[in-house]
A = this chain, B = another copy of it.
């Protein structure tokens, strides 16, 4: 009877992870003998396994087909053995679920009809289970796969775009263009229609908070919020248009699941650590321009000793550095991260041109690393 019931539940619900994986232990401040290792955008075009899937499937179909998205999420784990799986998806589906049509163009996903100010009021707040079920289903599949003994020390990470960054994509439509990279439409809202921008950010914060909580229900053991375009804001603008909405998302997640590490990645914000500490996140993921050891010291000296760090090898080094130099840079990054509340990662996502033996080298080097006695 018990077995039958267990099997029944296994098909309906993700099994609980048997123990806290390395990444969660590290970010919670538990003693660990080496930092956990994963890489932003670790599944993607640099892998021939990924290219093989993409030859049969377009990007959006891949994101929306849980079996395929789960397969692609696991590819880097099977090839390189990272300590965490980040669910394969894109940051834009929640905006699509709010009512803005999404397509996949030459240069990635985009909104062919950019959002106009008078459309903000009619955007809906999605129900994650009904509207973004594909992502949750992918997490459930991954949760089951990671419950096998060989994977049980690997963490499953969910993610979402932060409200400011999602707003820029919705308002610009396409960011890849020469004109779009200035975020000029978003800045026009910011300068001329700040209350409409705030209304959009409110809706996004509510949407993303619910979405991340649903991801945790589906099996995510940590979540990362990506504010990739934060660096396009001055500190004053960041404090008004990015930070309060990060806080709203993170506070919702923390209230519902205080045990779950929340990782905040705000790109282009070096030198602004005091602002970053205010998001309420339990982990700050630093870009490659920031300094891990200086940030650690500054956090410790200012009452943020409990805040963990993640990062920050330059993805261009991963792509371009010669093998021995890459090993050296990886070790420097690890040393800079320190022996407490730190996880190894890149400063940004893996670039599509990256040789896979570079990825293998970095993961192997980081996993062979051990803290020296002080």
Contacts and interface: CB of A to CB of B under 8 A. Distances in A.
> Which of A179, A314, A321 has the most chain B CB atoms inside 10 A of its CB?
A314
Contact of A289 (B188, B231, B317): B231
15 contacts: A183-B316, A184-B319, A185-B320, A187-B317, A188-B320, A191-B317, A191-B320, A191-B321, A191-B329, A192-B320, A192-B325, A234-B289, A234-B314, A235-B289, A270-B270
Contacts of A272: 270-271
Interface string A346-359: 00000101000000
A179 B354 CA distance: 12
Contacts of A132: none
Contact of A270 (B185, B271, B319, B320): B271
A187 B320 CA distance: 7
Interface in A279-300: 288-291
Interface of A: 179, 182-185, 187-188, 191-192, 231-236, 268, 270-272, 288-291, 314, 316-317, 319-322, 325-326, 329, 351, 353
A314 B187 contact: yes
A352 to B, nearest CB: 9
Task: Specify which of A187, A320, A322 lies most central, judged by the most chain B CB atoms within 10 Å of its CB.
Answer: A320
Contacts of A316: 182-184, 187
A320 B35 CA distance: 46
Given A182-B351, A231-B289, 14 more contacts: A183-B316, A188-B321, A191-B325, A192-B320, A192-B321, A192-B322, A232-B289, A234-B288, A235-B270, A235-B289, A236-B291, A268-B289, A271-B271, A271-B272
Nearest to A287: B234
Nearest to A107: B178
A81 B322 CA distance: 53
A291 B188 contact: no
A180 to B, nearest CB: 12
Contacts of A271: 270-272
**Which of the listed residues A236, A271, A321 has the most CB atoms from chain B within 10 Å of its own CB?**
A271
B353 A179 contact: yes
A233 B317 CA distance: 12
Please list the 6 inter-chain residue pairs (A to B) with the smallest Cβ-Cβ separation, ordered nearest first.
A271-B271, A191-B321, A188-B320, A187-B316, A192-B322, A182-B316
A62 B231 CA distance: 35
Output the residue of A188, A235, A268, A316 with the most chain B CB within 10 A.
A316
A171 to B, nearest CB: 12
Nearest to A179: B353
Contacts of A185: 320
A293 B187 CA distance: 22
Contacts of A289: 231-235, 268
A272 B268 CA distance: 13
Nearest to A238: B289
Which of A183, A185, A289, A317: most chain B Cβ within 10 A? A289
